[in-house]
Amino acid sequence: MPRFAANLTMLFTEAPFLDRFALARDAGFDAVEFLFPYACDAEQIGERLRRHRLKLVLFNLPAGDWAGGDRGIACDPRRSDEFRQGVQLALEYATELGVPYVHCMAGITPPRLAPERARDTLIEQLRYAADQFQPHGIGVLVEPINTYDIPGYFLHHSDQAVELLAACARPNLFLQYDIYHMQRMEGELSNTIRARLPLIRHMQLADTPGRHEPGTGEINYRHLFQLIDELGYDGWIGCEYQPRNGTVAGLGWMAALTAG
């Protein structure tokens, strides 16, 4: 059966962030992920992980002014210094918390910036980030994100991500494959997962339309979970969805869609 991690940014939002760790453990999760840890001290998060016997499997590098609309800054040449400062901050948290992977959000292409310049900047920044994390045994992930939810997002197709990884040529740089985003952008989920599996180190899920629990929309998750098992994927799948009627009330999909 696939291994599922609770995304604490999206799930258990009825509770303050630091209280969500206990709720995830009580709901049967062994691992968690979230967008950003930086509003809390690393020691606070580490204590919650230890107390509730949870593994942290992923968080994002700083992504600029999130409340102001930034969704990553790695493709913006004007913000190179800010990006690199964020890498150093993320490295402090990552080494303290023992996370195996961090996600670098490419960002929205700045107005009037040529796509080629955005690509070159992103490659340069990904190489920098990968080189900083590599001595610590930490991988850096890139994730294509759909342009319906984030218009103008630079990295939005799996083929584009594969080409980007090849151009960066770093051994600790991999693909984060979000089933929801890729269903919206390109479909062909089974064949794409099969073809890209050697590069995939983390997956995420939600159904569409609505970005709710698996089983609420058009994606055949029973088939995908069986396929992922058959392919031998041993990474985590982050539950990055918006519960329709509360997190715990909606968790029945796990048993329903992973039964033999």
Active-site residue identified among 143, 163, 186, 213: 143
- 114 pLDDT band, cuts 50/70/90, is very high
What burial class does residue 147 get, using C-beta atoms within 10 Å of its C-beta: 0-12 exposed, 13-18 middle, 19+ buried?
middle
b/e per residue, 214-226, with b = 16+ CB within 10 A?
bbbbebebeebbb
pLDDT above 90: percentage of residues in the chain: 99
Rounded to an integer, the average pLDDT of 82-108 is: 98
- Annotated catalytic residue 92: no
**Euclidean distance between CA atoms 172 and 133, whole angstroms:** 8
pLDDT at residue 260 tops 70:
no
pLDDT at residue 259 tops 80:
no
- Annotated catalytic residue 33: no
Active-site residue identified among 14, 43, 47, 240: 240
Amino acid code (one letter) for 183: Q
Q: Which domains does the chain have, with CATH numbers?
A: 3-258 (3.20.20.150)
pLDDT tens string 63-77? 999 999 999 999 999
